[in-house]
Structure 1
Amino acid sequence: MPESKRDSWELGSLSDLLALAARMEQEAIHGYVALAKRMQEMTRPDLAAVFESLVAEEKSHLRKVDQWRSTLSLPVARDVVQAPEELFDDEGAGIVAPELLSAYRAFSMAVRK
């Protein structure tokens, strides 16, 4: 596995950690929705379906984060200041020709994220 060059984030509380987790899940949802829409527009319904399934998976992750926050009676924390502007990286899938994408590439990208 490649070594990450990203600096670690300083989190002051469990609320901050869950806020970061929720932000990461929400950005992934937005990213996969955009990719699914692009694949539909490019007449690649097979890949649109893959990205739509990833949207559903990320939504279940977000619900779990919200459930943890609720179960622990934690307040909704402010956004984590040290996090980078954008957490989701589509690894170029949003700009490459659809014929260069495959379900395997989409799922492998999701695994890395």
Structure 2
Amino acid sequence: MQTVLAEYVRRTHVTLPQFIELLRGQSESDNRPTKAIIPNVAHGLCEGHGRFDDLIITASEGIHVTTSQSLPPQPSRPNTHPPAILRINVLRKNIRKEQDLSGEMHRR
């Protein structure tokens, strides 16, 4: 994927902000990631791509997934794995130890 993205950037001369927007699916009105891609931006950036028409449809309408059967209900959140519960005290001890060492380094 890295090679393909590098080739895309090389061919289109897209700016870094435009490239990041495209990767994250951001829009002009909402800059949070994973939002719909702006069709006009996608049109300008992706022209010449082998599946250009599909990309524009995806950018304007999103992706629609049809399943052959309904999805099973999600199980409830699993209990914490027992070793994780046992390990928490060791982790706390290590954190305190690191903090103590860090404090000693600053005092010197």
Q: TM-score, normalised by structure 1?
A: 0.22
Structure ID, larger Rg: 2
